Chains A and B, each alone.
Chain A
C-alpha cells in the first residue's frame, strides 16, 4: 500500500496556522531545508521527530502516522467500488490525494456514502416487509374472510324473502359481528402503517436484470422457439454433442475451435472458460473446463451466430425497465445463456426426463451430459403455461455468503444482496462439500419449503489460487416435495417438525433464534 502523505499534511497545517518553515524548523530543532524535504514528502520521518512536529502543529499522531488516512483511503475505496459510480472511473491516486489533502471533504463523502447505504437497505427492507411480514399476510386473510361472511349474510338478508325472524336476527348479528372484527383488523393495519412506505427501485444493472427475468417468470417462449429452429437448421436431432456443435460452427460460420490452457485467456474469459476472436473467427476453449462447460460455450456461440440476436432482441426490445446500456448488455448475456441451455437441454425431453427421474439433478446431468448447475438453471425455466414443471427457486452463493444468482418464488423471497438466513441449506452445504444437503424448512409465514443444495467447484487457472466453490440451491413448496427424490424419507405432513428458518436476520420475526446475528427491523 502506498505510504501516507505526511509531508503535505504538515505543510497544509503549518500554512493554516500561518507559521513559516524556518520558525517551525527551529521549534522542533531541525534545519529549514530538512523540513522542506519532509514537507515535499522526500524524506520519511517517524518516532520522536514526528511526535515533536505533531505537537508543534497541534495534530493528533494518528492523523500524521497515516492510520487515520489509511482508514479514509479504505473507505473511499469502498465508495469507489459502488456500481453506481463505475462510469466515473475513479482512480486509486485520487483517493490518496483526497484523503491527505482534503480530509474533511473525504470524511463528508464517506458519511454521505454510509447514510446512502443505510437508506438503501431500509428502503428495500421496508418494501420486503410488505411481502414477508406474517402479520400483514394474516391481516389481509382475515379481512377477506370477514368480508366474505358479511357479504354472504347480507345477500341472504337481501334475497331471501321468507326468512324466519330468528334467522333474520342471526344473519343481522353475523353482519354486525364481522363488521366489528373487520374494523379491528383495519385499525391494527393502520397502526402498522404508521410510517410511509417507499417503493424500492432497482438501481444497479444486476438488479434491473434480476427484476426483468423474475417479472417474466424466467420463461421465454421466443427463445425456446429459436432453440428448436437452431437444432433443425444444424440438423441436430438427438444429443447435441461437442462434435456436432463444432462441425456446425465450422460449416455454417467458418469458426475454428481450439482448446488451450486457461493461462492464455483473459481473466474475464477465464470466468466463461472461453474466448471468441471474431477477427480470426477462432473460439478458444479452456482445456481445464469440464466437458459440459465447453459444450455450453460452443452452444452459446453457435446460437448467437445463428440467431444474429433476432430472438434475443425481440425479447429485449419491449423491456423498458432495463434503463442502462450496462443492464441491456447483461440481460443480453443472460438471454444468450438461456438460449444455449435451451439447445442443450430441450424443453420437452427435459421435462419428461425430470418427471420420470423425479427431478434427480445428478441423474439429469448424466442423461443430458450437462453440469449440475446447468440442470438446476434449466429446471427453473420449465414454467411454460400448460406444460410446466415444479416451480423452483434458485440461489447461488459463494463461501463469503455473496448471492450471485437468484430466482425467487412468490412465497420464497431471496436476498438481493448479501446474506439470507444462515440455517438455509445453501449455506449448510459448504459444511458437506459435494453432498446434497436437504431440509424441510418452515418460514415465519407458515410456508413450508423443501430446500436442497450442493456445492460445485469451478476451475481455477493456477494452483496457488484459492478454490472457487459455490453452493447452488433449489427450493420448492413442500407440497411438491414428494414429486422429487429429495423429499424421499422425509415426513412431509404439515404437523411434522421442520427447520424453523427465516428470510434473513433483519427481516425475521423469530426473536429468540440461536442463529440470529443482526437485530430485526420488522415488527413481530
Chain B
C-alpha cells in the first residue's frame, strides 16, 4: 500500500504543486485547508506523515502539532513543518513541541521529497 501523506496548508496552489510532486513519487496524498480539519483527519484516519503549515486558519499549526504529539495514538506520526514563519523562535518552539522536521517557504521540491522519504523510511 502506498505511503499516505496529509498536507495541511491553506494556500491551494502550494497544495497543488506539492501533491503533484509527491504523487509522482508514489505517495498517496490527502490535503486539508485548516487546522481543525487536519486534526479531524488525523484522528479518523492517521496518515504516515503530515506536512503542516504553521499559519493555518481555525487552529494554528503549533496547536495541531501539540495535539498530535500529546496524543499517544498519534505521537509516532512524523510531522514536517513547512512554513513562512522561519524565525529562530518558531523553529525552536516547533522543535520543543516535537516537530520531526522544519522547512521554510519558499522550498525546493527536491528537498521536500527527500525529507518525506527520510521521515517515512521503514
Contacts and interface: CB of A to CB of B under 8 A. Distances in A.
B18 interface: yes
A391 B89 CA distance: 9
Interface string B4-44: 00000001011011101100100000000001000000000
A495 interface: yes
A305 interface: no
A410 B107 contact: no
A145 B17 contact: no
Contacts of A148: 11, 14, 84, 105-107
A155 interface: yes
25 contacts: A141-B84, A144-B104, A144-B106, A145-B11, A147-B105, A148-B107, A150-B106, A151-B106, A151-B108, A152-B18, A152-B106, A152-B109, A153-B17, A155-B108, A155-B110, A156-B21, A160-B24, A174-B13, A178-B13, A391-B89, A477-B93, A479-B63, A479-B97, A493-B59, A494-B58
B15 to A, nearest CB: 9
Nearest to B24: A160
B60 interface: yes
B55 interface: yes
Contacts of B16: 170, 174
B93 A479 contact: yes
B66 interface: yes
B29 to A, nearest CB: 14
B106 A147 contact: yes
Contacts of B62: 479
A169 interface: no
B85 interface: yes
Interface in B78-122: 84-87, 89, 93, 96-97, 104-110
A153 B13 contact: yes
A470 interface: no
A159 B60 CA distance: 33
B105 A144 contact: yes
B63 A174 contact: no
A25 to B, nearest CB: 77
Contacts of B20: 156, 167, 171
B13 A494 contact: no
B14 to A, nearest CB: 5
Contacts of A141: 55, 84-85
Contacts of A167: 20
Nearest to A157: B17
Nearest to A138: B55
A258 B108 CA distance: 68
Main SS class of interface, A: helix
A255 B58 CA distance: 62
A411 interface: yes
A274 to B, nearest CB: 37
Contacts of B109: 152, 155-156, 159
A457 B110 CA distance: 60
B104 to A, nearest CB: 8
Contacts of A477: 93
A153 B17 CA distance: 6
A44 interface: no
A152 B21 contact: yes
Contacts of A160: 24
Contacts of A185: none
Interface string B36-68: 000000000000000000010011101100100
A149 interface: yes
A148 B93 CA distance: 22
Contacts of A171: 17, 20
Contacts of B66: 479
A92 B105 CA distance: 60
A153 B105 CA distance: 13
Q: Which 9 A-B pairs have the closest CB atoms?
A: A144-B84, A148-B105, A149-B13, A152-B17, A148-B106, A147-B106, A151-B106, A155-B109, A174-B13
